[in-house]
Structure 1
Amino acid sequence: MSDTTPGLVTVFGGSGFVGTQVVRALAKQGWRVKVAVRRPNLAQDLRVNGDVGQIQPVRCDITRPADVEAALKGATAAVNLVGLLFEGPGGKFAKSHIEGARTIAETCAAHGIARFVHISAIGADAGSEAAYGRTKGEAEQAILAALPTATILRPSIVFGAGDGFLNRFASMATLSPALPLIGGGKTKFQPVYVGDVAEAVARAIVSPHAQGKTYELGGPAVWSFKDILTYILRETNRSPILAPIPVFAAATLGRVAGLTAMVGIPPVLTRDQVLMLKVDNVVSPGALGLADLGIEATGLEAIAPSYLWRYRRGGQFAENPRDPETLPA
């Protein structure tokens, strides 16, 4: 089989927001896709993203080597999308990010599977103060030690219908008189469209030139946290104030709010997420990116209005959103 011929690819964690798009992109490219997830009964809807029999959900816990071994049987390529945003009864950062990723990489190496794409994150750094960024960084090291041909993709915050970032703050704006402007809203992001991330996976997995390389995926524009919240308010025609909160105070609030994760309830904010906001989340100068994979980045303004309208005061047929000059400073 040549380096560019699609065969069977195993996608670990392919039922989530990004995973669904990745599975669709790979199926469109001609791959037979095995979607390895903890609850395959909740991933059956993925089958309609390909031809009959092209996409098959299977049960897999990546912290169990036997499960990973079975999921990779017959595969010629693999993608790892498993990641946690917070720790709770469902998993810990170290076990899912590091141990799971290492197990997949070592199993791929043992079976001669050289094509492996791992989704990490901008901000992944083994020396990070935040557990999320630190374990993401350690995972990259473990993967490349086991499988030097692996490709690492590091997206900035990912947007698109169903995202957990714009939707979260838009929802908060419908209920709260204020939105938290942590650290004054100065943290910079480079939002990247989920469709572009999925296409990056599909292109990287068939390109011999991508093997062993790390790509940082960002959109065409850099936004401050304040810019993003202001944009959301404009698109939804909402008027809560933007309340500046010092990082140390937000970290304390995050520690308290994060306690809900211990009983399985997704927290609004965690201390770890606040710590990640202390560092800009943008593509590093000179880093390989979407353009190196032949992808033109899609802007936030081109996509976000298509799903933020549901939070708009008055609904999708309401008057045009307020002029930016009337938004809170």
Structure 2
Amino acid sequence: MVVLVTGATGFIGRSVVGELLKHNYDVRCLVHTPGSERVFSDRSVEIYYGDIRDQNSIVSACQGVEFVINLVSTITPDRGSDMLSINVVGTANLVSAIENSGSVRHLVHVSVLGANDNPRERYFFSKWKGEQEIKRTRTSYTIIRPSVITGASDRFSNLLGSLVTLFPAVPVVGHGRNRIQPMVVEDFAYCVVASLGRNDLESKIIELGGDLHLSVNEMIDYISDAMGRRRIKIHFPFWVLGLFCSLMNIFMTKPILNRELARMLSNRNVTDIGVAKSVFGITPKAFSEGIHHLTGMNVKNATDHLFRNSDKRFETPKNRE
């Protein structure tokens, strides 16, 4: 059975492709940027080039596939048109291409925990609008809303790890008591793949998270302890972040922090801990496994991530041997 994965070369996409191959699916990857497919040089996958903002460029990728997993998303806040064109218009284009193919049996669409119809929360609103496009399809679908996903190349834990490595104090927006439910990327990939073809999940929205409800303050403490670098936290109001983000947009082509990412961490972002077990039959891995890669982070790694927006994996000495 052929599965098309959009966003295949991204952080989550690479794990989803690996999980599909473990289950002997034939994998077709939709790639936006030529050359990024090199991450699959040691894997047997089919590559199609296209941009979901251009429906004509993705029609052929949908031909002859039975399942589609849509992982394409952006959280870029200061170019609102990009967020809407990818998260909403791009999703609508994909739905049209799927329906025109006549072969797709099931679409799994990855949204975000906290998606809502409040236009002021631009990222969450764009993801909610994307969900509405999915719900209009005649094709069987499942929507999965994850909390924060952690792993060797994730944006969030590497941001916190970099701050812990480089500075004696870690900045926190607001009081830091809002709760998040980080999930290890391998667990999330398993759940996404396990959703394919399940009639009992048709037209359902599944909210997923990891093994703990943690406040941002607690997550920083977890990461600091894992790295052996205990740090204090400095709390500041959201408007200060806005000024900081404006400065980063001036000096960085791809800022590592923006208003929408900070808003995600400032909102309650949790669900029932038992969903992964009851729906997919797995017990989520401990949060500590999702941040294990940070134990090998050094000053160069941290500097690369913060100021050069590096996507390299931070490996422990054990993993490098």
User: In the aligned structure 1, how far is the partner of 2:245 from the partner of 2:178?
Assistant: 17
Please name the residue that 1:65 is paired with. Answer: 55
Deviations 1:37-96 (A, max 9, x none): 1124221331424xxxx4112211111111110111111111111111325789710000
Please name the residue that 2:97 is paired with. Answer: 107
Please name the residue that 1:48 is paired with. Answer: 42
User: In the aligned structure 2, how far is the partner of 1:90 from the partner of 1:277?
Assistant: 19
Q: Among residues 95, 99, 111, which one is paired with 1:120 in the alignment?
A: 111
Instruction: State how 1:144-293 maps to structure 2 within 5 Å.
Output: 144-147=135-138, 149-260=140-251, 265-283=253-271, 289=276, 291-293=278-280
* Residue 295 (str. 1) matches residue 252 (str. 2): no
Contact 2:75 2:260 in 1 (8 A): no
Deviations 1:161-201 (A, max 9, x none): 12111111111222223211111211210001101111111
User: In the aligned structure 1, how far is the partner of 2:182 from the partner of 2:246?
Assistant: 26
Contact 2:165 2:229 in 1 (8 A): yes
User: In the aligned structure 1, how far is the partner of 2:186 from the partner of 2:215?
Assistant: 22
Instruction: State how 1:70-89 maps to structure 2 within 5 Å.
Output: 70-87=60-77
Supply the AA of the counterpart residue of 1:308.
L
In structure 1, the gaps of 5 or more residues are: 1-6, 318-329
Please name the residue that 2:312 is paired with. Answer: none
Equivalent position SS for 1:57: strand
Equivalent position SS for 2:140: coil
Contact 1:251 1:275 in 2 (8 A): no
User: In the aligned structure 1, how far is the partner of 2:223 from the partner of 2:197?
Assistant: 37
TM-score, with structure 1 as normaliser: 0.84
User: In the aligned structure 2, how far is the partner of 1:281 from the partner of 1:69?
Assistant: 35
Deviations 1:141-167 (A, max 9, x none): 111112462111111000111211111
Instruction: State how 1:2-21 maps to structure 2 within 5 Å.
Output: 7-21=1-15
1:180–1:104 CA distance, 2 compared to 1 (3 A): same
Question: Shift of the alpha carbon at 1:248?
Answer: 2.9
Instruction: State how 1:301-316 maps to structure 2 within 5 Å.
Output: 301-305=288-292, 307-311=293-297
1:260–1:8 CA distance, 2 compared to 1 (3 A): farther
Question: Shift of the alpha carbon at 1:312?
Answer: 6.5
Contact 2:77 2:123 in 1 (8 A): no
Supply the AA of the counterpart residue of 1:70.
S
Deviations 1:239-295 (A, max 9, x none): 44210112232233334434456xxx221321222333342011169x955531222
RMSD: 2.4
1:32–1:212 CA distance, 2 compared to 1 (3 A): same
Aligned residues: 301
Equivalent position SS for 1:280: coil
In structure 2, the gaps of 5 or more residues are: 300-314
Supply the AA of the counterpart residue of 1:295.
I
Supply the AA of the counterpart residue of 1:304.
I
